[in-house]
Amino acid sequence: MGSAITGWGSALPPRVVTNDDFAARLDTSDAWISERTGIRQRRMGGTTGSLAEEAARAALARAERQPAAIDQIVLATTTPDRLIPATSSPLHAALGCRGGAFDLNAACAGFVYGLVVADALLQVRGGAALVIGADTLSRITDQDDRSTAVLFADGAGAIVLEAVPGESAVLGADLGVDGAAADLLSCEHGGTITMEGREVYRRAVRAELDSIEAVLAATGVKIDDIALFVPHQANVRIIEAVNQRLGISMDKTALVLDRTGNTSAGSIPLALCEAADAGRLHDGDLVLLSGFGAGMTWASAVVRWGRGGPAAA
């Protein structure tokens, strides 16, 4: 049994918060934020469930599937709407899906973790899954702390993954965590995010490089075979550092963080969906996904886009 990505969709709340909006009330500037992070504006608002539902409905429409065709929801999120139940549970009811649903917390690597888990489930028993990455980080960010407020925001993206005969959409993956470094980025119950930004930055570059090299070695795929690189959208300098070391051009890289900020599990599917909507992906293309976040988790995967076999040379 193989699998195919048959639909995709994303959701952003309507409220735009610009760098100048922060500069108007905090000791910061558009120049500092855009030069240090690449972020120019971000979206804030909504709930994780509402953003996930909007993204899921768009993905189902693109796949031309009714919700009842889905028998598994995997919702990657660090910001569930409530501690109990899982956000995927009312989402499952709102959409009218069949089968099961669960939340998965692997922070900014969550969407890739979710994709790998969903693909493995389809290998076992067929069917179709919605894999969603959704976060509302603005709700757990101290909006008066300039060192985190300008970074974190809200958004969601989703794909439909269907069991099909033949090859799996996930050619290979590398998943990891370094729990000894967990305190570098954390949020207590009822609290807000604290982060040692410089150390997280250093580890993000190292972990993404190692993880990408591991997945390329495991799959035998070369960088030049990759049609599109979709990295976690935390800081454009992290992306540029990884690209430079691996020889990936920025032209082949999906970027949304200038308009979305860091949306954690939402970030990779948001960038993937925008690239697909812009016609940058074709059936059979190889896509490299890589994320790094709280935990500290990381995940990279080589994925074959869309229906059908390998892209024509």
User: E strands within 67-153?
Assistant: 72-76, 100-104, 128-136
Map residue 7 onto helix, strand or coil. strand
Regarding 36 and contact with ligand ACO (CB under 6 A), the answer is yes
Helical (H) or strand (E) element with 273: helix 267-277
Q: CB nearer to ligand ACO: give 36 or 252.
A: 36
Regarding 272 and contact with ligand ACO (CB under 6 A), the answer is no
Regarding 147 and contact with ligand ACO (CB under 6 A), the answer is yes
Q: CB nearer to ligand ACO: give 208 or 285.
A: 208
How far apart (Å, rounded) are the C-alpha atoms in residues 173 and 20? 39
Regarding 72 and contact with ligand ACO (CB under 6 A), the answer is no
Residues 19, 108, 235, 273: which is the catalytic one? 108
Q: CB nearer to ligand ACO: give 3 or 136.
A: 136
Active site residue 108: yes
How far apart (Å, rounded) are the C-alpha atoms in residues 17 and 259? 9
Q: Are 291 and 109 in contact (CB under 8 A)?
A: yes
Select from 147, 232, 249 the least CA-distant residue to 192. 147
Residue window 171-200: x/- pattern of binding to ligand ACO, with contact defined by CB under 6 A: --------------x-----------xx-x
Q: Count the alpha carbons within 13 Å of 91 in the hemisphere toward its beta carbon.
A: 36
**Which member of 293, 304, 305, 306 binds ligand ACO (CB under 6 A)?**
293
- Positive or negative torsion for Cα 309, 115, 263, 299: negative
Please give the positions annotated as active site: 108, 232, 262
Instruction: Report the interface residues with ligand ACO, using CB under 6 A.
Output: 28, 32-33, 36-37, 107-108, 146-147, 150, 185, 197-198, 200-201, 204, 234-235, 238, 262, 264, 293-294
